[in-house]
């Protein structure tokens, strides 16, 4: 049995400090908990935002990681969903109130009391949470999902954030046959959005700053790839799309993008710019358009997404790294120099 009081991990000891090897304690396995031996943890851009306090004050030491894939190695006495040996994943949250109207609908991500974040959060008893850059995790079985056979645990890890963050709005706004979907940005989120929207049957266009990743975009399932640095793109594609899924966190000229929508089209943001944006309301009124946002997905939908990915043989495009390469990987993420997600092999911690 693993000692839960000295679990190897990589942590940022202070804001903006490089991550380094350390050990952390996990809670004892309770009746409803599973112990997961983490195999792979994805590096999400939000790990960097939080470790560097780009979104506000953090809890340190911080063990990031909310794209977690591993194997169940122990179960509590009351656990019914999982058994030792099961392949499981954990995403962006590890608990919620469990009784509000959204939790009851399986929309835990919108829990009125807020979710307990997988890291940089606090359990209901006030203990800090530590994420996936570690070898083991204890979690309530209700907040784990099953990773179907047919998806490698390494390529599955990023699905727990990048996958569900794009799957949920694509489903909500009915991406599918006959629908024209534009994906803004071809990074960790964008590359999954292209794969998922294409697998759902939509006609996909990538809108990227340049044509640098055009070959990748078409290989991932896009039919068209256009540069937003080219003014002609906005004129030629005017009124083209049913849905625009924006995965970038840079502030965009919203009016220009809303002009690309058809009547009743929606522009949905999953990227999180640090600065507010302004909008002329006429760009919504003309064409009955929607400007919306979307946050990850609930537990049932995350399971649905994983099953969908297995059925369509989809995983993330990944670059597997050792734990001692995390700091270097952070710099490369910031430079958009990754195709398309770094995944830490946690055996190297
Ligand atoms: Zn994330
Ligand atoms: Zn709730």
> What is the arithmetic mean of pLDDT over 244-256?
93
User: SS3 for 62?
Assistant: strand
CA 162–ligand 1 middle distance (angstroms): 6
Q: Are 134 and 8 in contact (CB under 8 A)?
A: yes
CA atoms 12, 49, 67, 341: torsion sign: negative
**Nearest-CA neighbor of 182 among 115, 242, 269, 262?**
242
What pLDDT score does 1 carry? 54
Ligand number, closest to the Cα atom of 91? 1
What pLDDT score does 249 carry? 86
Ligand number, closest to the Cα atom of 41? 1
Percentage of the chain with pLDDT > 70? 99
pLDDT tens digit sequence for 331-340 = 999 998 999 9
Ligand number, closest to the Cα atom of 271? 1
DSSP 312-347: TT----EEEE-GGGHHHHHHHHHTT--SSEEEEEGG
- Residues in CB range of 321: below 8 A, 6 or more apart: 329, 342, 343, 344, 345
Residue 55's alpha-carbon distances to 77, 124, 247, in angstroms, are 39, 22, 17
- Between strands 180-184 and 203-208, the pairing is parallel
- Between strands 261-269 and 241-246, the pairing is parallel
CA 47–ligand 1 middle distance (angstroms): 7
Q: Are 199 and 327 in contact (CB under 8 A)?
A: no
**Nearest-CA neighbor of 168 among 21, 327, 301, 3?**
301
The predicted model scores a pTM of: 0.97
pLDDT tens digit sequence for 29-45 = 999 999 999 999 999 99
Q: Are 267 and 257 in contact (CB under 8 A)?
A: yes
Query: What is the rounded distance in angstroms from the CA atom of residue 101 to the CA atom of residue 111?
Result: 8
CA atoms within 13 A on the CB side of 166: 33
CA 64–ligand 1 middle distance (angstroms): 10
Q: Are 194 and 183 in contact (CB under 8 A)?
A: yes
Q: Which residues surround ligand 2, an ion (CB under 5 A)?
A: 96-97, 100, 103, 111
CA 300–ligand 2 middle distance (angstroms): 14
Query: What is the rounded distance in angstroms from the CA atom of residue 165 to the CA atom of residue 159?
Result: 9
pLDDT tens digit sequence for 185-224 = 999 999 999 999 999 999 999 999 999 999 999 999 999 9
What pLDDT score does 277 carry? 87
CA 106–ligand 2 middle distance (angstroms): 9
CA 132–ligand 1 middle distance (angstroms): 11
- Residues in CB range of 298: below 8 A, 6 or more apart: 102, 105, 106, 107, 108, 109, 110
pLDDT tens digit sequence for 14-29 = 999 999 999 999 999 9
User: Does position 79 have pLDDT exceeding 90, yes or no?
Assistant: yes
> What is the arithmetic mean of pLDDT over 65-76?
98
The two structure tokens encoding residue 47: 């790990």
Cα 337-12-118 angle, rounded to 5 deg:
85
């Amino acid at each position: 049995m693993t000692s839960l009081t000295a679990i190897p991990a990589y942590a940022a000891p202070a804001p903006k400090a490089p991550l380094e090897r350390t050990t952390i304690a996990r809670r004892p396995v309770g009746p409803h908990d599973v112990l997961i031996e983490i195999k792979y943890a994805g590096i999400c851009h939000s790990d960097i935002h939080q470790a560097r306090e780009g979104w506000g004050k953090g809890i340190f030491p911080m063990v990031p990681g909310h794209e977690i894939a591993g194997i169940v190695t122990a179960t509590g006495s009351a656990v019914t969903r999982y058994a030792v040996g099961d392949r499981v994943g954990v995403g962006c949250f590890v608990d919620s109130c469990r009784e509000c109207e959204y939790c009851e609908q399986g929309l835990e991500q919108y829990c009125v009391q807020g979710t307990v974040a997988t890291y940089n959060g606090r359990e209901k008893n006030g203990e800090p949470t530590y994420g996936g850059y570690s070898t083991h995790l204890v979690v309530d079985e209700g907040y784990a999902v099953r990773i179907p056979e047919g998806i490698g645990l390494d390529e599955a890890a990023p699905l727990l954030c990048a996958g569900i963050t794009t799957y949920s709005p694509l489903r909500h706004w009915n991406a599918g046959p006959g629908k024209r979907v534009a994906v803004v940005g071809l990074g960790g989120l964008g590359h999954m959005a292209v794969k998922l929207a294409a697998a759902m049957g939509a006609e996909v266009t990538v809108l990227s700053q340049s044509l640098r990743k055009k070959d990748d975009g078409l290989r991932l399932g896009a039919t068209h790839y256009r540069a937003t640095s080219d003014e002609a793109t906005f004129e030629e594609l005017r009124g083209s799309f049913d849905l625009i899924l924006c995965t970038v966190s840079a502030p965009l000229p919203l009016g220009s993008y809303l002009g690309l929508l058809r009547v009743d089209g929606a522009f949905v943001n999953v990227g999180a710019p640090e600065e507010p944006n302004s909008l002329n309301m006429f760009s919504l009124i003309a064409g009955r358009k929607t400007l919306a946002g979307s946050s990850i997905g609930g537990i049932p939908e995350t399971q649905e997404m994983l099953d969908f990915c297995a059925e369509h043989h989809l995983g993330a495009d990944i670059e597997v790294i050792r734990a001692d390469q995390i700091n270097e990987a952070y710099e490369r993420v910031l430079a958009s120099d990754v195709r398309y997600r770094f995944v830490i092999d946690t055996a190297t911690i």
